[in-house]
Amino acid sequence: MIRSMTGFARLERQFEFGRLSWEMRSVNHRFLECSLRLPEEFRTLDPAIRELLGRHLARGKIDATLRFQPAGGAAAGRLELNRDLAGKLVELYREFAGLAAVEPEPPVPALMRWPGVIEEQLPDAAPMQEAALALLAEATAELQAARGREGEKMAAALRERLQGVQEWTARIREWLPEIRAGLRDRLLGRIGELQQPLDPGRLEQEVAFLAQKIDIDEELDRLLAHVSEARRVLEVDEPVGRRLDFLMQEFNRESNTLSSKSIDQRTTQAAVELKVLIEQMREQIQNVE
């Protein structure tokens, strides 16, 4: 079963510490490239996230975004007053006011803005990070499922075109005896127009030479072999995009040879139709994982 490199997944869940949500998008790419957007509390997970994605995805450009919303009141509950620093600031203020011979009240708002007076006690990051990784694994499975569904549609389109290649190959093989007979008749007609007779042995040599020059049995055999291999690869449960891309190059090479050897309008048209089918498959395969 093949998979597309295009997909989308979004997963959100509420925990005691807050709400986590993953959003993942993937498009085609030659290799696996991960672009991550993480809240500050989860930045240390970067290597673990890439390792997890690498275990499940082989190719594609992956954009993964993690959003975190702390539980209500959790942020305010983490704020604490640095009493030592605050007391020292008040003491310094009063000492300065005594030197100035004034007795105003300490400017509380200004003192609260002093760096370090209000401290945020960060919660234990381990449970949050474990939950984020577990949720990512589920989101990745959902993304792969979406890519698999898209891959099934692509596989159906590829099989349809492979059937077309097989049918055109069979038609060309049916035409070959008639094409060779026509070649011989044309050659004999031209020889008959000559003013001097041609040695029969030489005639047979010329006919054999031309028949060998336009012989396409080997190309037809290879096309059918490529069709069989492509069908087999479509059933393999692993990333096969690069292998299919290589097969498309081989398909294209055989169709080009058919076109160059063609001496009949029917085989020329067949070669064009084969190239159209191969190009349609190649475009689909550019998005196969």
Tokens encoding 140: 């990745």
With vertex at residue 180, the alpha carbon angle to CA 179 and CA 182, rounded to the nearest 5 degrees, is 65
- pLDDT higher for 206 or 162? 162
pLDDT over 90, % of the chain: 56
The answer to whether residue 96 scores a pLDDT higher than 90 is no
Same domain for 280 and 161, yes or no, is: yes
Split at pLDDT 50, 70, 90, the class of 259 is confident
Distance of alpha carbon 225 from alpha carbon 231, whole angstroms: 10
Residue that the structure tokens 């000559």 belong to: 194
Distance of alpha carbon 289 from alpha carbon 239, whole angstroms: 5
What residues form DSSP beta bridges with 19?
Answer: 14, 69
Distance of alpha carbon 289 from alpha carbon 194, whole angstroms: 62
Same domain for 132 and 216, yes or no, is: no
Q: Read off the CATH number of the domain in which 26 is found.
A: 3.30.230.10
Express each pLDDT in 78-94 by its tens digit. Answer: 677 777 877 887 888 77
Same domain for 48 and 135, yes or no, is: yes
pLDDT at position 135 is: 97
Q: How many domains does the chain have?
A: 3
- pLDDT higher for 182 or 151? 151
pTM, whole model, 2 decimals?
0.72
Same domain for 13 and 34, yes or no, is: yes
- With a CB cutoff of 8 Å and minimum separation 6, the contacts of 106 are 90, 93, 94
Same domain for 130 and 165, yes or no, is: no
pLDDT at position 263 is: 78
Strand order in the sheet with 7-15: 7-15, 18-27, 60-70, 32-37
Same domain for 189 and 210, yes or no, is: yes
Domain contains 1: no
pLDDT at position 264 is: 82
Same domain for 113 and 35, yes or no, is: no
Same domain for 99 and 39, yes or no, is: no
Same domain for 214 and 164, yes or no, is: yes
Distance of alpha carbon 285 from alpha carbon 234, whole angstroms: 11
- pLDDT higher for 202 or 41? 41
The answer to whether residue 37 scores a pLDDT higher than 60 is yes
Mean pLDDT of 9-28: 94
Same domain for 154 and 262, yes or no, is: yes
Q: Give the distance from CA 98 to its chain's centroid.
A: 72
Domain contains 103: yes
Split at pLDDT 50, 70, 90, the class of 204 is low
State the DSSP code for 57: -
- With a CB cutoff of 8 Å and minimum separation 6, the contacts of 52 are 133, 136, 137, 140
Distance of alpha carbon 86 from alpha carbon 112, whole angstroms: 8
**Whether 126 contacts 36, CB under 8 Å:** no
The answer to whether residue 277 scores a pLDDT higher than 90 is yes
Same domain for 139 and 226, yes or no, is: no
Same domain for 33 and 113, yes or no, is: no
Distance of alpha carbon 125 from alpha carbon 129, whole angstroms: 6
Domain contains 2: no
Least confident of 67-71, 117-121, 169-173, 196-200: 196-200
Range of the domain at 227: 149-285
The answer to whether residue 124 scores a pLDDT higher than 80 is no
Domain contains 265: yes
- pLDDT higher for 215 or 59? 59
Domain contains 170: yes
